[in-house]
Each structure stands twice: as structure tokens, then as C-alpha cells.
Structure 1
Amino acid sequence: MSLFVEHLVQGLALALLGLWHTINTIKSYLVKGPANFTVRFWFQFNTPLARLKHLELVSILCFSILAIFTQILDFPNFHYAFKLHNFEHATMFIHLALFAGFSLSIELTDSLDIFSGFVGILASSMFSQELFLLHFHSTDHVGLEGHYHWLLQLIVIVSLVSAMAAAIFPQSFNAALVLSISIIFQGCWFINMGFMLWIPACIPEGCVMNTAKPNQSRILGAVACGSKEADFRARGLANLQFSWIFAIIVIFAGIICLKLARKCTILDRLEYERIQNKGTDSTMANEGFKQGK
């Protein structure tokens, strides 16, 4: 159950972060236009309280530090034990904390104009290390569990490539949007993995949770399937889930684009009409003044 909670909490955090970035990226593009749009790897909170404008970076930093300690202290046992896979997970959060910490420092010192490219490098480095540690993971990600983690690596590759593209082409709306959507996808896939691998009721037919402990001669996965047919069916179901979740995210992102485009268009039209009316009133007043003379 602890592994399910970890996947659920981390997945929700990533999904919400990706949603926040998707909304703000689309809104920024619609408001500024293609010529003035610039990729942002984090967004300020629009609030009267100046202390809260860096809430995103502070939240990421605090969450990362907390996650590092829970991995090192082997949550929920809370005792130090050198488990290689826990330290690999903690290392992923170290790179996330580095990104948030340096980005916050750059912002607080008003150095964003100088080091904006460095923030993009940090984001790319973070995803590259996540992919590296997932690919060469020491834990027993074999069988169905291994297949879920292999599909996760595909999402991280997209995050890495889009982050690099956003860093190299800072005015690319497409790169920024793909990066945001991929973060949502990572979060949703984490949640899906938590249910499908660690909740007995969700485990595919013909497969069971593996309660045996691995030894040096045998590596076990989280889920064991009783036959090749059951394993093949479970992997096919995982592939369908991957495609379905991606489709739902794309539909949701499209709806956000249409909603924000309509809203921004209406606001721009009202602002344009207000300026036009002001100019018309000024012209009529000048003409009336001339006629009075």
C-alpha cells in the first residue's frame, strides 16, 4: 500500500504541475502573440501577496526535499536502510530540487534575463537524469511492472526532447506545450501504475501480486502472471491504457486551448472596441470644438 501511496502522491503532484503549466503556456501565447511569446519553465502566481508569486518553485523545492527524506528513511518504516532503488528515486528528486532551487535563486537575484538559458539546461538535465535512472534501475522492474516502466520511459523521452527544444528555441510554443502535456502524462501514468500494480482489485486477469521476496538467483516483479497468455493480455491492456490516457489528455488540452482562445479573443475585442470608441469620441469632440469656433 505504501508504494501505491507514493505513486498516487507523486502522480497527482506531476499532473497538477503539468496542468498549471499547460494553462499558463496557452494563456501566455494567446495574450502575447507568436512574436512576443517566450517559453517559461515556471510561472508566477498572480496574487496581491508578493510573497506567493514564487509559490510554484517553493512548492517543488519543499516537495522534493520531503520526497528525498522519505526515500532515504524508507517510508513508511522511517529507519535508515541503504536500499539502492530508494537512493535512485531520491537522486531523481535531487535533480528536481536543484532545478527549483537554482531557478528560485535566479529569480530572487533578478538574473533571469542573463540566465534564462541556464534554467532550460537545468530542466533538460533533470529529465535526462530521470530517464537515465529509470533505464538503468537496479530494482526488480521485470515482467508486467517492467513493461509499465518501459512505457514511462517513452513519456520521459518526450519530456526531455521538448525541454531541450524549449531551451534552444525559447519562442517555440509547440515545444512548451508538448513539455507541459508530457508532464501531465507522466503524472497520470504514475497514478495508473499505482492502481494497476499495487491494488489487488485492479491487477489484470490471470495475474496476481507477487508477495515473494527476490533473492540473488531470481528477480521478481510486482505482478506475476500465471501464463504467457495472461502476461501477453496484461501487456496489451497496459498499451491500451497508455493510448487512452494520452487521448484523454490531448482532448483536455484541446478544450483548454479553445476555451482560452475564446476568452482571450472576447477580451481583446472588448479592449479594441473601448479604444476605438475612445478615439471616436475624441474625434467628435474636436470637430464640435472647431464648429463652435
Structure 2
Amino acid sequence: MGTFVGHIVPGLALTLLGLWHTVNTIISYFLKGPSNFTIRFWYPFNSPVSKLKHLELIFILSFSVWAILMQVIDFPLFQFSLKLHNLEHATMFLHLVIFAAFTLCAELIHSLHILSGVVGILVASVFCQELFLLHFHSADHVGLEGHYHWLLQLIVFASVMAALAATCFRTSLPAALVLSISVVFQGCWFMNMGFMLWVPRFVPKGCIVHFVEGTGDSMLGAVTCETSEADFRARALANLQFSWILSGILIFTGCTCLKFAGKCIPRELSIEYEQLQSRGADIPVAMNDFKEAYP
């Protein structure tokens, strides 16, 4: 993951997964209504092909296995590369494999509803282990790179708390939305780190990226700033990027909520409207009976 591609590819996958959950959570909430809404840790892919129902879980499982192989196997030599930082990255994806595999098995045996609490714990463990391994990473992230990783830890911490809240409070829309938004935020921040720390033209003014040869054809990079003023400016720019990316995600989430709130009528209001209609239909009948009784 210490390369440009190693940040862009997982970041894009997390962003798409988070957006998928955000939109589906909002749709589910407005269709079912507050009283019938229940948090889901995965959403089926509705299509004419029934085999694609578990596409999300299959995607998470296959992508995580592929990511683990990319970390522990040195391509194109096809030799095991058991470097410490690679094992740490692979371990992060290992917990995703555990979550996806368990959830898929529970779904196939039709026991997901009973085991939903266990699934929630596994989701929380994914982010807990990610935060743990990021905080105690063997690679010494210092300077500007360290600041970007420290901001990443804030996002992962939000994911941990949201996952625990979603597990304990299964009908909470805020918990579900924060969890989905934090996943989108993680993905966007990964991609932002890829550009800002590995593409020379995006490196902040006064800072330089130094490339060293990694395993295979990969190039590892490290950003150093020439002066303390340049380092301070680069960190401030990272803080602004953090805020701007979050603002963009919140704008998207808010617009999506407004869009579906206008189109979907909550189930409770729909039932009340039907009851009022049925009562209105009974009034003329009652009046006719009254006239017949007193001509």
C-alpha cells in the first residue's frame, strides 16, 4: 500500500462501497419509515440475475483476498515477500475476509437475522484492527506523510465508533449514515494521499517526493519539506483538504436525503392517509342511513 496504486485502488473500492451503502441506507429509511428501519451491514444487489444478489459480499471477499496476495507475493517473481509492513497491510484485509466470508455463509444458510449481532462485531473488528495497525505501524510515518496518516486515523476512529453504535442500536439512522460516510471518507482520503504524496506535481510547494525502488516494479515514496514554513503550510493544506472532502461527502449525503425524502412517503403517513380515506368514504353512507330513518 506504500505506493500510488496501493492507495488509489483500495481508496476507489472503499469510496464505491461507502456510496453504495449511503444511498441504500437512505432509500431503506425513507421507504420503510423510522419505526421499521433496521441497519444492514450489506445490501443485496437487485437484478434479474439472482446469482448477483450477494455481489457486494463477493466483491469484498475477492478484493480482500487479491489485496492480501499482492502484499505477500512479490510479482512478477512469484516469491513470498514477508516484510513486516506488508504483513500489517495484509492483516487489515484479513479481517475484511473474515467479515465477508462469515456474512456470506450466514446469508446462504438463512441465519443472517439471528447472527446480525455477530456480523456487527465483525464489522467493528475490521475498523478496530485497521486503527490498531495504523497507529502502531512498523513504517515510521513522519513529517507530512505522518500528518496525513494521523488524519486517516481520525476517520477510522469515527468508523469504529459508528460500527459499535450501529451494532448496539440497530434502528439508528445517524449511526448507519456515519458508518457509511466514514467509509466513503476513508476511500477519498486514501486517494487524496495517493496524489498528494506520490505524484510530484501535486506535492505541496516547498516539499519534494523522494522515490526508492520497492518490490517488483513498484516505487516507494517519501515526502520531505525543505523548510519549517513549507512543512507548516503543507500540513495546513492537508487540514483544508480533510475539511473540503468531508464537506463534499456531506453535501452529497444531504442532497440524496432531500431527493428521496420528497419522493418517498413514510409508511406511517401512508397508513394514516389510507385510514382517513376509508373514514371519508363511510360518511355518505351514514348520512343516507340518517335520511332513511327520518324521512
TM tier, smaller: 0.7 to 0.9
**Contact map agreement 2:39 2:176 (CA 8 A) in 1:** yes
Cα 1:177–1:145 shift into 2, 3 Å: same
**Contact map agreement 2:99 2:119 (CA 8 A) in 1:** yes
Cα 1:273–1:173 shift into 2, 3 Å: closer
Q: CA deviation at 1:225?
A: 0.7
Measure, in 2, the Cα distance between the counterparts of 1:268 and 1:118.
31
Equivalent residue for 1:248?
248
Measure, in 2, the Cα distance between the counterparts of 1:160 and 1:196.
26
**Contact map agreement 2:28 2:37 (CA 8 A) in 1:** yes
Measure, in 2, the Cα distance between the counterparts of 1:62 and 1:262.
37
Taking the TM superposition and a 5 Å limit, the aligned residue runs for 1:190-269 are 190-211=190-211, 222-265=222-265
Identity level (%): 60
Taking the TM superposition and a 5 Å limit, the aligned residue runs for 1:75-114 are 78-114=78-114
Q: CA deviation at 1:29?
A: 0.8
Q: CA deviation at 1:274?
A: 8.8
Q: Higher strand proportion, which one?
A: 2
Q: Which residue type is aligned with residue 13 of structure 2?
A: A
Q: CA deviation at 1:48?
A: 2.5
**Contact map agreement 2:71 2:81 (CA 8 A) in 1:** no
Deviations 1:93-127 (A, max 9, x none): 00011100000001101111211100000000110
Q: CA deviation at 1:267?
A: 11
Where structure 1 has 5 or more consecutive residues not aligned to the other structure, the ranges are 215-219, 289-293
* RMSD, aligned α-carbons: 2.8
Q: Secondary structure at the match of 1:88?
A: helix
Measure, in 2, the Cα distance between the counterparts of 1:176 and 1:60.
19
Q: Are positions 1:177 and 2:188 aligned together?
A: no
Q: Secondary structure at the match of 1:35?
A: coil
Q: Which residue type is aligned with residue 92 of structure 1?
A: M
Measure, in 2, the Cα distance between the counterparts of 1:36 and 1:267.
9
Taking the TM superposition and a 5 Å limit, the aligned residue runs for 1:118-137 are 118-137=118-137
Cα 1:179–1:138 shift into 2, 3 Å: same
Where structure 2 has 5 or more consecutive residues not aligned to the other structure, the ranges are 215-219, 289-295
Q: Higher helix proportion, which one?
A: 1
**Contact map agreement 1:4 1:198 (CA 8 A) in 2:** yes
For normalisation by structure 1, the TM-score amounts to 0.88
Measure, in 2, the Cα distance between the counterparts of 1:229 and 1:212.
26
Equivalent residue for 1:11?
11
Measure, in 2, the Cα distance between the counterparts of 1:144 and 1:116.
40
For normalisation by structure 2, the TM-score amounts to 0.87
Q: CA deviation at 1:142?
A: 1.2
Q: Secondary structure at the match of 1:43?
A: coil
**Contact map agreement 1:120 1:166 (CA 8 A) in 2:** yes
